[in-house]
Amino acid sequence: MAGEKQVVFRVRRYQPQGTKGPYYQEYTVPYRDDEVVLDGLNYIKDNLDPTLTFRWSCRMGICGSCGMDVNGNPKLTCGTFIRDASRGGVVQVDPLTSFNSIKDLVTDFDPFMEHFLHVKPWIIRAKEKPVSEGEYIQYPEDLVAFRQQSLCINCTLCMAACPVFQGDNRFIGPASLAMALRYIRDTRDEGAEQRFQRISTEHGIWECTFVGECSVVCPKEVDPAGAIQTLKLMATTRRMKKLLMPKSASR
């Protein structure tokens, strides 16, 4: 970070062992045009204040660790250039909306993880076949059906952007619901019934009011909003099939 330009990082701090609540601290950071907000935070930690705490790992939009609110919008800080984020020479960084802060910019993901496990994000088989019988065959066209949802990196930006989850964290949320669709559409999976029992509920797909912000902030173009509408249609179709043709509604 040996640039000539300077920007002020206004960072929300919180120390759980301290006596005061969250507060903002400002740091003056030099930057170049090719540097991102995560570079700025690392500059602060390396040169100005080693106590600043935040999550990050890959720096290339894959791990989903560095999600934070930048100027009030959920962003991956590794993919947000300082030059774009600067508002009048200031970049404000907060912990992700909707989640409690454990320390500084590190949030408690437990509410997300609980919902995530409820949708059973793994392949479910009614009966596993022996390894000696070979792998489960899947064709490229089968993969197309769920490839978009499989790109999710669990960064939870969509959860932070979702007004429904902000208001009630019992809502399963867009990330977990997109993942539910990913497995329901997987031709190797036979767990659709179990998942629909969990997601076709008051705090599941029917709580989504289709704001669409989850799809706007998603850095991987997973389109969770579209996924949830798809699940609504599938759940309705399954319900109707159960009513009209009870023996043919297994998937």
Contact residues for another protein, defined by CB under 8 A: 14, 16-17, 21-22, 72-73, 95, 97-102, 108, 141, 144-145, 163, 166-167, 185, 209-213, 215-216, 223, 225-226, 229-230, 232-233
Looking at the DSSP bridge assignments, the partners of residue 76 are 67
Local structure of 195: helix, strand or coil? helix
Looking at the DSSP bridge assignments, the partners of residue 12 are 24
3-state SS of 7-24? EEEEEEECCCCCCCCCEE
Residue 58 CA to residue 65 CA, distance in Å, equals 8
Cβ 193 vs Cβ 124: under 8 Å? no
Say how many CA atoms lie within 13 Å of 76 toward its Cβ.
21
Supply 74's token pair.
């959920």
Contacts of 65-70 spanning 24+ positions with Cβ under 8 A: 65/155, 66/38, 67/96, 67/155, 67/156, 67/157, 67/160, 68/37, 68/93, 68/94, 68/95, 68/96, 68/105, 69/93, 69/94, 69/95, 69/96, 69/97, 69/160, 70/37
Cβ 198 vs Cβ 118: under 8 Å? yes
Whole-Å CA distances, 121 to 137, 165, 180, 205, 207: 20, 20, 7, 16, 20
